[in-house]
Structure 1
Amino acid sequence: MPRALVVADDLTGATDTAHAFAKRGYGTTVRVDPDSEPNASVLAVNTDSRYADPETAAERVRRVVRGTDAPVVYKKVDSTLRGNVASEVDAAMERFDRGLFAPAAPAVGRLTACSHHLVDGCLLTDTEYANDPNPPASARLPALFEGLDRPVRHLGIGAVAAGPDAVRGVLDDVPPGSVIACDATHERHLVAIARAGRESDRRPLYAGSSGLAEHVAVPGEPDRKPGFEYAAGGALGVVGSVSERSLEQLAALPEEWVIAIGPEELLSDPEGAGREAGRRTADRLAAGEHAVVTAAPDREAVERTLELGHERGLDGEAIRERVTAALASAARAGCGEAAGLFVTGGDIAMAAFDALGVRALSLSGVEVEAGIPVSRLDGGCADGLPVVTKAGGFGSDATVINCLRALGGDHE
Structure 2
Amino acid sequence: MARERVFIVADDLTGALDSAAGFAERGARVRVACRPRDLPAALGSAAEVIAVATGTRDGTEAEAARVAAAVARDLAGHSGILFKKIDSRLKGHVAAELAPLAASGARLVVNPAIPALGRLCLQGAVCGAGVEVPIPVAPRIGRALQIPDTRTQADLAAQLPEDLSEAVYVGAAGLAEALADRLWPGGAARPLPRLELPALLAIGSRDPVTLAQVDALRDVPVLEAPNGACPELPDAPLLLIRMTPGAEEIPGDAAAAAFAGTLAEAQRHVRPATLFACGGESAAALLARLGIGQLDVLGQILPGVPVARTAEGAPLVIITKSGGFGPPDSLVKLVKFLPTV
Q: TM-score normalised by the shorter chain: which range applies?
A: 0.7 to 0.9
Q: Output the TM-score relative to the length of structure 1.
A: 0.73
Q: 1:96 to 1:8 in 2, by over 3 A?
A: farther
Which residues of 2 match residues 286-325 of structure 1 at below 5 A?
Answer: 290-296=238-244, 302=245, 305=246, 308-309=248-249, 314-325=250-261
Match of 2:7 in 1: 5
Q: 1:121 to 1:340 in 2, by over 3 A?
A: closer
Name the SS for the 1:295 alignment partner: strand
Specify which of 106, 130, 144 is matched with residue 97 of structure 1: 106
Name the SS for the 1:80 alignment partner: coil
Match of 1:208 in 2: 171
Name the SS for the 2:19 alignment partner: helix
Amino acid at match of 1:308: E
Question: Is residue 79–residue 208 contact of structure 1 (8 Å, CA) maintained in 2?
Answer: yes
Answer 1 or 2: which has greater helix percent: 1
Distance in 1, matches of 2:19 and 2:317, equals 18
Shift of 1:98: 1.0
Question: Is residue 95–residue 141 contact of structure 2 (8 Å, CA) maintained in 1?
Answer: yes
Identity value in percent: 28
Specify which of 342, 353, 360 is matched with residue 276 of structure 2: 342
Name the SS for the 2:327 alignment partner: coil
Specify which of 236, 260, 268 is matched with residue 284 of structure 1: 236
User: How far does the alpha carbon of each residue in 1:317-374 deviate from its partner, in whole angstroms, 9 at most, with x for none?
Assistant: 33343334333433x22441x3311111111110111122212111112x22111111
Does the alignment pair 1:154 with 2:106? no
Shift of 1:235: 2.0
Match of 1:389 in 2: 320
Specify which of 204, 212, 215 is matched with residue 251 of structure 1: 215
Q: 1:224 to 1:45 in 2, by over 3 A?
A: farther
Match of 2:263 in 1: 327
Q: Output the TM-score relative to the length of structure 2.
A: 0.87
Does the alignment pair 1:359 with 2:261? no
User: How far does the alpha carbon of each residue in 1:169-216 deviate from its partner, in whole angstroms, 9 at most, with x for none?
Assistant: xxxxxxxxxxxxxxx12111100112x2x436x711000011100011
Does the alignment pair 1:227 with 2:191? yes
Question: Is residue 27–residue 224 contact of structure 1 (8 Å, CA) maintained in 2?
Answer: no
Distance in 2, matches of 1:65 and 1:224, equals 31
Distance in 1, matches of 2:194 and 2:184, equals 30
Does the alignment pair 1:64 with 2:4? no
Distance in 2, matches of 1:334 and 1:141, equals 45
Which residues of 2 match residues 25-40 of structure 1 at below 5 A?
Answer: 25-33=27-35, 34-35=37-38, 37-38=41-42, 39=45, 40=47
Distance in 1, matches of 2:336 and 2:167, equals 41
Name the SS for the 2:50 alignment partner: strand
User: How far does the alpha carbon of each residue in 1:215-273 deviate from its partner, in whole angstroms, 9 at most, with x for none?
Assistant: 1157689998521231443422111000001111111112542122245xx5xxx4xx3
Match of 1:42 in 2: 49
Question: Is residue 203–residue 240 contact of structure 2 (8 Å, CA) maintained in 1?
Answer: yes
Q: 1:208 to 1:230 in 2, by over 3 A?
A: same
Does the alignment pair 1:75 with 2:9? no
Name the SS for the 2:335 alignment partner: helix
Shift of 1:378: 2.4
User: How far does the alpha carbon of each residue in 1:251-298 deviate from its partner, in whole angstroms, 9 at most, with x for none?
Assistant: 1112542122245xx5xxx4xx35x33xx1xx111xxxx2211123xx
Does the alignment pair 1:403 with 2:319? no
Which residues of 2 match residues 182-193 of structure 1 at below 5 A?
Answer: 184-193=150-159
User: How far does the alpha carbon of each residue in 1:28-87 deviate from its partner, in whole angstroms, 9 at most, with x for none?
Assistant: 011125236131110110000101211221221222123222311100000111111121
Amino acid at match of 2:15: G
Match of 2:311 in 1: 378
Distance in 2, matches of 1:247 and 1:6, equals 29
User: How far does the alpha carbon of each residue in 1:77-107 deviate from its partner, in whole angstroms, 9 at most, with x for none?
Assistant: 0011111112122222139721111001111
Question: Aligned residue pairs: how many?
Answer: 330
Match of 1:167 in 2: none
Match of 1:175 in 2: none
Name the SS for the 2:15 alignment partner: helix
Name the SS for the 1:88 alignment partner: helix
Root-mean-square deviation (Å): 2.6
Distance in 1, matches of 2:252 and 2:243, equals 15
